[in-house]
Amino acid sequence: MITAARNYLVFLRRCARIAFVGDWRYYAWMGGLTIVILFGINAYAKQLVDGLIVTGMSDEVSWGVYIANFTFLVGVAAAAVMMVIPVYIYDNEELHDLVIFGELLAVAAILMCLSFVTVDLGRPDRFWHLIPGLGQLNFPRSMLSWDVIVLNGYLLLNVHICGYLLYCRYQDKKPSKWFYIPFVFIAIVWAISIHTVTAFLYVGLGGRPFWNASIVGPRFLASAFTAGPAIIILALQVIRSYTNYRITDKALLTLRGIVQVSMIINVFLLVCEIFKEFYSGTTHGVSAKYLFVGLHGHHALVPWIWTAIGFNLIAMVILVLPVSRSLKYLNVACALCIVGIWIEKGMGLVIPGFIPTPLGAFVEYLPSLNETLVCLGIWAFGLLCYTVFLRMAVPILQGRLAKANEGQPEIQGDEPASVAPVSPATH
């Protein structure tokens, strides 16, 4: 028992240590991220002192880019499941060794989500009021309480799955199926639930006709399963070019298939929504009118939404055409998807829900500089987390960071492919 605990602590210590070593590119990247994070912390400190007045939000538009980014990132976290399903349900071989990168991305995305909701709180010092038992979690009535539960649950599930598999690989032990397979399947359902619950957060508000539509949930899932795997496609190529971890083009193309289908569904659902809002001509379509064409001289969101729609349509065309089997085009399509959907969730969904107000007033919203710095800080924090996770996971998966070589000089960087040991194919 004591040896087991000691071994685990050694594992953690070695993982922590390796996060601080790398080549100059690694230091430059991490240093750059740290600087952005510090700017974010500084901006958040100002917000803590002066209040949320330093943001662009108001009583009219009371949620802004914090909640927009939160919503987008819940989708990214949920999308990890799109790698899990092919592997664990359809036994896809190509993606098998890559699932963990998707799950680690989910962990980083959830950490960012939790940061974004925290910075949005007026009284973060009272966070403990949310803890069941200590505080007063309004479960099951408030959808936000559901979100607290599903997000933290999803974080724990993914931390467990990744941590367990990596520790087994570190010990060169075959993972016990009972210790992770059930959790993998729970996580599949759970992933769908986190984004559905986040959609219900909006859908449940009868006073906001723009959100109070049953199509929001399906659209959330479709757009998440577009943007999430698109991010994974780009991330995997980064991993491939900076380490010697074997990632095949075939694996990337499998993900392309997912992005392709999801994007088609996403655009179809958008068409459904536009038709419903505009054809009937009811006063409920007023937010949509403001969003797509502007209303009463207010049209701040019009350029945003058409950029998003343009990006999404171009991405869809590229994805449908055979050219996207070439990584160059696929990457362009992925980048367009990510930006397009990010806009669609934020400037295209969260903000127009508030305009006009339930009393018909048109007050527009633009994020402030301070707010933007906080957002950039959190994004940098998420990227830093993901980089650290990869920095630990890749050598472990390759067998370079293993219990067997405990006590030997720690690896410093990524050895060139020729000297890297062949990764033993377990699990």
Partner 1 sequence: MSSPFSSPDKTSDAAMSRRNFLRGTAALGGLTALAASLSPLLELDDLTSTEKFLQKYYKEMTPDDMSKVIKRISNEVERQYGVRPHVRDLKPMDGVEFVYCLNLTRCIGCRKCVHACVNENNQSRNPEIQYIRVLKMPHGSMDVEKGNHTYDDKHVPDPGYFYMPIQCQQCHNPPCVKVCPVNATWQEKDGITVIDYDWCIGCRYCEAACPYWARRFNWTKPQIPKERLNPNMAYLGNRPRKQGVMEKCHFCIQRTRDGRYPACLEVCPVGARKFGNILDPNSEVSYILREKRVFIQLKEEMGTNPRFFYYFDK
Helices (H), 284-347: 286-292, 302-320, 327-345
The minimum distance between CB 384 and partner 1, in angstroms, equals 13
- Output 122 or 322, the one with its CB closest to partner 1: 122
Decide: 343 and 307 in contact? Cβ < 8 Å. Answer: yes
- Output 228 or 346, the one with its CB closest to partner 1: 346
The minimum distance between CB 312 and partner 1, in angstroms, equals 26
Site string for partner 1, 31-50 (x = CB under 8 A): ---xx--xx-xx--xx-xxx
C-alpha closest to that of 59 among 355, 347, 372: 355
Omega within 30 of 0 (cis) for the link into 416? no
Rule CB under 8 A: say whether 403 interacts with partner 1. Answer: no
Q: Which residue pairs from 277-285 have beta carbons closer than 8 angstroms and sit at least 24 positions apart in sequence?
A: 284/209, 284/210
Task: Indicate which single residue of 2, 4, 5, 122 sits in contact with partner 1 (rule: CB under 8 A).
Answer: 122
φ and ψ of 376, to 5 deg? -60, -40
- Output 23 or 172, the one with its CB closest to partner 1: 23
- E strand or H helix that includes residue 72: helix 65-79
Among the listed ranges 52-60, 233-241, 327-335, 338-346, the one in contact with partner 1 (CB under 8 A) is 52-60
Rule CB under 8 A: say whether 121 interacts with partner 1. Answer: yes
Task: Indicate which single residue of 9, 12, 16, 53 sits in contact with partner 1 (rule: CB under 8 A).
Answer: 53
- Output 136 or 176, the one with its CB closest to partner 1: 136
Among the listed ranges 78-86, 139-147, 186-194, 241-249, the one in contact with partner 1 (CB under 8 A) is 139-147
The minimum distance between CB 40 and partner 1, in angstroms, equals 8
Residues 276-315 contacting partner 1, CB under 8 A: 283, 286
Task: Indicate which single residue of 145, 237, 307, 331 sits in contact with partner 1 (rule: CB under 8 A).
Answer: 145
- Output 140 or 322, the one with its CB closest to partner 1: 140
Three-state SS at 324:
helix
Rule CB under 8 A: say whether 152 interacts with partner 1. Answer: no
For 74, 208, 296, 313, the CA distances from 191, given in Å and listed in that order, are 9, 26, 41, 26
Task: Give the N- to C-terminal CA distance of the chain in Å, as an integer.
Answer: 25
Residues 216-275 contacting partner 1, CB under 8 A: none
- Reported residue count of the chain is 427
Three-state SS at 295:
strand
Q: Which two tokens stand for residue 366?
A: 């633009």
Q: How far apart are CA 215 and CA 273, in angstroms?
A: 7
Residues 358-377 contacting partner 1, CB under 8 A: 358-361
Three-state SS at 400:
coil
Rule CB under 8 A: say whether 356 interacts with partner 1. Answer: yes
- Output 146 or 342, the one with its CB closest to partner 1: 146
- Output 97 or 147, the one with its CB closest to partner 1: 147
Q: How far apart are CA 163 and CA 178, in angstroms?
A: 15
Q: How far apart are CA 193 and CA 78, in angstroms?
A: 8
C-alpha closest to that of 393 among 10, 113, 105, 179: 105
Task: Indicate which single residue of 11, 22, 68, 83 sits in contact with partner 1 (rule: CB under 8 A).
Answer: 22
- Output 284 or 427, the one with its CB closest to partner 1: 284
Rule CB under 8 A: say whether 138 interacts with partner 1. Answer: yes
- Where does residue 208 fall: left (phi above 0), alpha (psi -120 to 50 degrees), or beta otherwise? beta
Task: Indicate which single residue of 3, 4, 133, 207 sits in contact with partner 1 (rule: CB under 8 A).
Answer: 207
- Output 135 or 182, the one with its CB closest to partner 1: 135
Task: Indicate which single residue of 182, 413, 421, 424 sits in contact with partner 1 (rule: CB under 8 A).
Answer: 413
The rounded Cα 224 to chain-centroid distance in angstroms is 9
C-alpha closest to that of 334 among 305, 310, 303, 312: 312
Residues that bind partner 1 (CB under 8 A): 22-24, 26, 34-35, 38-39, 41-42, 45-46, 48-53, 57-60, 62-63, 117, 120-127, 129-130, 135-138, 141-145, 148, 201, 204-208, 283, 286, 353-354, 356-361, 409, 411-416
